[in-house]
Amino acid sequence: MNRRQLTNAPLLQAARGETPDHTPVWFMRQAGRSLPEYRKLREGVGMLESCFNPDMLAEITLQPVRRHGVDAAILFSDIVVPLKAAGVNLDIVPGRGPVLEHPIRTLSDVQALPTLEHEITEVAEGIDTILSELTETQALIGFVGGPFTLASYLVEGGPSKNHIHTKALMHNEPKTWALLMEKITATVTAFLATQMHAGIDAMQLFDSWAGFLTEHDYRELVQPYSAQILETARDIPRIHFGVGTGELLPDMAAAGPDVVGVDWRVPLDRAAERIHRVSGRVTGLQGNLDPAMLFASESAIAREVARIKGEARAAIEAGNATGHIFNLGHGVLPETDPEVITRTVRLIQED
């Protein structure tokens, strides 16, 4: 396909280390339950059903772009969509998340796990529609789930607090773990290929739960697979994100992304300094307003936005970062007032 050549999209400029005319901003989970128009469209339609419906996934992706004027759309999908498309028996349960009928815990379970071997045409078709409606300054960010996060859903069988079965498998059966990682990497790479062929402008690797790992386990047993996934997307800007990853940021940067996503716990200038000093890499930064701040007063939000922008600027001036994409430190909370989101987006872009 012919990818859009967007020279003036602020998000892509920031990711490439150029200087955009304003700080680009998008919010993780900007599409979804905080928006009344989303809740209306989803009435009576299952989450996975909506992810495999080209018109619906396009419309839901575009809703927050129209309403908030953000600099990027994030593809409406889910990290488990490629597993479902590969034939894994799972569902996304309202109020809970992805749930598997049979958790994957043994070598024979892993051997029987199907991998994605085809393009997901519904997603490709949805992306086509999205791209026809975005302007030349609005980027479409595609995404896939990271290897540890996806493994956790597969091995635990659903959302997990402590990831006990996953960590036990990792340490008890290294060969089974390696095969599981290889299969997840193959499936994720295939889903990413669908999105790249359809024309996404940038991508984010969401290894949301990687922050639960020790540095050693992350480095030895997870990061090499993330590096493989990111390498297949080298033609577009790549963002690498996880939650609670303060200690892992240098290893996440070493996996090869153009931009590292930072949650709200670590100031951006300290994150960048640590990445540069430990990994020797200088990347872009993404983040890092605490999602709970959107429930604070307008003036408190303004102070936090100014602090975060100042820390990003300090990181760039110190030579520890190449640019800044504003985002939350994790996803928009469902109870967030959409008008506060719109106002905060404007504040970030104008100041």
Q: How far apart are CA 238 and CA 286, in angstroms?
A: 11
CB 102 within 8 A of CB 87: no
**Contacting residue, 28, 62, 72, 205, with ligand 1CP by CB under 6 A:** 28
**Contacting residue, 31, 130, 170, 271, with ligand 1CP by CB under 6 A:** 31
Q: How far apart are CA 307 and CA 289, in angstroms?
A: 10
Q: Is 159 in the site for ligand 1CP (CB under 6 A)?
A: yes
CB 346 within 8 A of CB 75: no
Closer to ligand 1CP at the Cβ: 264 or 315?
264
Q: Which stretch binds ligand 1CP (CB under 6 A): 27-35, 102-110, 224-232, 304-312?
A: 27-35
Q: How far apart are CA 221 and CA 174, in angstroms?
A: 9
Q: How far apart are CA 253 and CA 294, in angstroms?
A: 28
**Contacting residue, 48, 70, 72, 74, with ligand 1CP by CB under 6 A:** 74
The interface mask with ligand 1CP, positions 187-206, x = CB under 6 A, is: -------------------x
CB 286 within 8 A of CB 325: yes
Site for ligand 1CP in 302-341 (CB under 6 A): 331
What pairing do the DSSP bridges indicate for beta strands 238-241 and 97-100? unpaired
Q: What is the dihedral of CA 279, 282, 283, 285, to 10 degrees?
A: 90
What pairing do the DSSP bridges indicate for beta strands 90-93 and 97-100? antiparallel
**Contacting residue, 25, 48, 68, 143, with ligand 1CP by CB under 6 A:** 143
Closer to ligand 1CP at the Cβ: 82 or 284?
82
Q: Is 52 in the site for ligand 1CP (CB under 6 A)?
A: no
Cβ 275 to ligand 1CP, closest distance in Å? 20
**Contacting residue, 98, 157, 211, 250, with ligand 1CP by CB under 6 A:** 98
What pairing do the DSSP bridges indicate for beta strands 90-93 and 259-261? unpaired
Q: Which stretch binds ligand 1CP (CB under 6 A): 77-85, 101-109, 174-182, 278-286?
A: 77-85
Minimal CB distance residue for ligand 1CP: 97
Give the contacts of 282 (CB within 8 A, at least 6 positions apart): 272, 275, 276, 319, 320, 321, 322
Specify which residues 284 forms β-bridges with: 259
Q: Is 219 in the site for ligand 1CP (CB under 6 A)?
A: no
Q: Which stretch binds ligand 1CP (CB under 6 A): 29-37, 104-112, 166-174, 284-292?
A: 29-37
Instruction: Establish whether 22 is an annotated binding residue.
Output: no
Instruction: Establish whether 330 is an annotated binding residue.
Output: yes
Give the contacts of 63 (CB within 8 A, at least 6 positions apart): 31, 35, 37, 38, 41
Q: How far apart are CA 253 and CA 337, in angstroms?
A: 33
Q: Is 284 in the site for ligand 1CP (CB under 6 A)?
A: no
Cβ 198 to ligand 1CP, closest distance in Å? 16
Q: Which residues bind ligand 1CP (CB under 6 A)?
A: 28-33, 42, 47, 74, 76-79, 92, 94, 97-98, 143, 149, 159, 206, 208, 331
* Binding-site residues from annotation for substrate: 29-33, 78, 153, 208, 330
